[in-house]
Structure 1
Amino acid sequence: MENNFQEKDNIIRSKSFDFSVRIVNLYKILYYERNEKVISKQLIRSGTSVGANIEEGIAAFSKKDFIFKLQISYKEAFESRYWLKLLFKTEYIKQSEFESLLFDVEEIIKIMTVILKSSKENQ
């Protein structure tokens, strides 16, 4: 399964992992420095779930399972985008932090859209 998606997989795998690292680092700042304890926990769950579900999808035993895991990851990316918007609008994160993370998650969403579309067409 992995060979069929190798080129796209490497891009989405590395971008989602880098996004997870950024989310973990933001969580530490929000939780310990900015005293935000609720939304930050939601964000770390959804933000790190993006890459985790991509990894599970890569290890899938069937194309159907691969698509299913990527669909979960796709939804988690949308949820992460929501939490980032909320954190920005409630002034827990600065505009520069927000715009940078928003760019990353939207890029991940675009890449996953292409992967899911081609995977479903080739199913």
Structure 2
Amino acid sequence: MRTKEASLRIIRVFQQLPRTGEAAVLGKQLLRSATSVAANFRAACRGRSTAEWYAKRCICVEEADETLFWLELLGDSGIVAKIRLTSIEQEYLEIVSILASARKKAQR
């Protein structure tokens, strides 16, 4: 499952963050949002109704976009070198795009 693999990558990023207050705050937010994407995607796949599936997908899109925000802040603040985050940021851009597209199709 792509969202689970991406969240595992985020866990590894989190584990390598410097031991500073600001890194801890941003890192925990990043960890929460990334793991939420994977958990809600899994829940959506097991949804009991179309409405439940749609609601969970909406949460996935929101949390994936939030994950991108925390990654950007880690890079822009200099806590993590931007070059080290490029690949995982690209992965979350793709996840947002895929999930948003599926959500739009379901809306029709």
| Alpha-carbon separation, structure 2, partners of 1:57 and 1:49 | 12
Taking structure 2 as the reference length, the TM-score comes to 0.93
Residue from 68, 72, 76 that aligns with 2:55: 68
Q: Does the Cα contact within 8 Å between 2:76 and 2:82 map onto a contact in 1?
A: no
1:25-59, Cα deviation, whole Å (9 max, x unpaired): 111111xxx11211100000001111110001111
Unaligned runs of 5+ in 1: 1-13
Taking structure 1 as the reference length, the TM-score comes to 0.82
State the Cα distance separating 1:16 from its structure 2 match: 0.8
Residue from 17, 37, 41 that aligns with 2:28: 41
Unaligned runs of 5+ in 2: none
Between the two proteins, the alignment pairs up a number of residues equal to: 105
Task: Please state if 1:100 is matched with 2:71.
Answer: no
| Alpha-carbon separation, structure 1, partners of 2:6 and 2:53 | 21
State the Cα distance separating 1:78 from its structure 2 match: 0.9
| Alpha-carbon separation, structure 1, partners of 2:107 and 2:50 | 9
Runs of 4+ with >3 A deviation: none
- Structure 1 match to 2:75: 88
| Alpha-carbon separation, structure 1, partners of 2:79 and 2:64 | 20
